[in-house]
Amino acid sequence: MKKLLLLILFAGEAILAQTVDPSKSRCHVFIDYQFIWTLEMIKGENEAVVPVVNIITFAKGQWDLRPEQLHLYKNQRVEAQIERFSIDTGVAGEPYVVPYLKVLGESFIGMDLIGEFTGFEELSQVSIDLADNRFILEAIDCFQYETMVGKINRINFDSPDLRQDYSVLELSLHGKREAWRQHY
């Protein structure tokens, strides 16, 4: 009986390993001590895929963000075309749709992306160019993502020491930041 159970467990793990690609996910995140970016691909109206992006900035400053600065790939060669940003106004069916955003330091904003995302249910790579930085978001399991979002929601945004808050919340750094020369 033990051999059968072990065989079933081994077979199940082998099937799971073949069907789950850890480099692709519906959920992506970047976390450091100056920026937090989250992206989740959700099913919207009519089962259409909608990318939802949240930006939290702890750094001072302000930066322009345009749709062409967000790069969502379903594989190495195919990138989604993002047209606009949609911000919830609190009035059902009446979002604020804009062609660019001014990202303010020491603030947060959430938005849906508007564009064509058919076939982009899971992404292989997400990067965002902001000023002189390219933020490469890390693909993570969506259960882990939800847990991480819960921790992010508990950050004391007025804290004098974010590193201590991250430590207490057991919130680790994710993703990668690279120097990037702005081309937009």
The radius of gyration of the chain's CA atoms, rounded to the nearest angstrom, is: 18
Alpha carbons 117 and 52: distance in angstroms, whole number: 12
* pLDDT value for 47: 87
**Confidence check: pLDDT of 157 > 70:** yes
Distance CA 149, CA 145 (A): 6
pLDDT digits (tens, 9 = 90+) for 104-123: 999 999 999 999 999 999 99
Beta strand spans in 58-106 (E)? 62-65, 70-73, 81-87, 96-98, 101-104
The mean pLDDT of 59-73, rounded to a whole number, is 97
pLDDT of residue 77: 87
- Counting Cα atoms < 13 Å in the Cβ hemisphere of 149 gives 18
Comparing CA positions, the residue from 107, 121, 114 lying closest to residue 66 is 114
Q: Which residues contact 30 (CB under 8 A, 6 or more apart)?
A: 36, 37, 38, 128, 135, 136, 137, 138, 174, 175, 176, 177
pLDDT, one tens digit per residue, over 14-35 is: 333 333 456 799 999 999 999 9
Residue 7 has pLDDT above 70, yes or no: no
- pLDDT for position 158: 87
**pLDDT at residue number 3:** 44
Q: Which pair of structure tokens corresponds to residue 40?
A: 């989740």
Identity of the residue numbered 11:
A
pLDDT band for 183, please (50, 70, 90 cuts): low
